[in-house]
Structure 1
């Protein structure tokens, strides 16, 4: 981990405080899961649309 990451982590701790970091990490994890879920649903929907076009 480079020194720039230490600066970023230090700024985050200063901005949000130690008590808010677990909440922030939890909400970031939930957002990441929703994004991945949306990407897989979008990919399967586009696959279905491609199959429908090729069947016509």
Structure 2
């Protein structure tokens, strides 16, 4: 058994509905991000990603509510 092969120890990050990333892949991606951006930039990067996700979610809500309004008018 390899590193992270135990089902109870796996970390899954969902990308859409079909692709899953295991523990090993998540650690490799984290290491690459750390090398690219450095330890000092990571908090800033995480904050901007969180803000981007919040703005995206807000846009989805507005889009869905405008579609519902259009359906009610028709």
Using the size of structure 1 for normalisation, the TM-score is 0.91
Decide which structure has greater helix share: 1
For 1:1-56, what aligned pairs fall within 5 Å after superposition? 1=11, 2-53=23-74
Query: Structure 1 unaligned runs (5+)?
Result: none
Using the size of structure 2 for normalisation, the TM-score is 0.70
* Cα RMSD for the two superposed structures: 0.6
> Could you tell me how far 1:31 is from its partner in structure 2?
0.3
* Count of aligned pairs: 53
Query: Structure 2 unaligned runs (5+)?
Result: 1-10, 12-22
Q: Following superposition, which runs of at least 4 residues in structure 1 exceed 2 angstroms of deviation?
A: none
Decide which structure has greater strand share: 2
Distance in 1 separating the partners of 2:25 and 2:55? 28
Distance in 2 separating the partners of 1:18 and 1:48? 46
State which structure, 1 or 2, has the greater radius of gyration over its C-alpha atoms: 1
